[in-house]
Amino acid sequence: MNRNSYVIFFHSLSRAGYYFLLIASMALVLALPTRAEERMAKSKVAPVYPEIARRMKVEGEVKVAVTVDPEGRVVAVKPVSGNHILSEAAQDAVRKWRFESGSGVATFDVGVEFNLAR
C-alpha cells in the first residue's frame, strides 16, 4: 500500500469507524508488556558453559530480555547483546529462573555472566 492508499482509507472511515480504530489500537498498546517493572530474581539457574566457548576461551556477559508473568514465571527470553556462542546457554538458563510476583506481565533485561575462572 502506498501513502495515497492510506490517506484514502482514513478519509473514507466514518466517525464511528475512526473511533473504533483508535480505541482498538490503544487497547493493543496497553496490552503489551511493560518494561518499567523490573523484578528481582528469587531463584537462578547457572548457565551450562558451551564446550566450544570453553575451548575458545570466550568470556563475557550476555544480556537477554526476559518476559515474566504476574506469578514470576518466565514466559519469553530473547537475546539483546553479547557473544552469540554464549547466547543460547544464557537463554536456556534464564528460562529456568523464577522472579518475584508482580501486578502484571513485565519485560526487562537481565545479564548472565560467563567467566572461565569459576
User: 67: number of CA atoms within 13 Å, CB side?
Assistant: 9
Backbone angles phi, psi at 102, to 5 degrees: -150, -175
Instruction: Supply the DSSP symbol for 34.
Output: B
How far, in Å, CA of 25 to CA of 94, rounded? Answer: 32
Q: What does the pLDDT read at residue 37?
A: 72
Quick check: pTM over 0.75? no
Model confidence pLDDT, tens digit, residues 38-82: 899 999 999 999 999 999 999 999 999 999 999 999 999 999 999
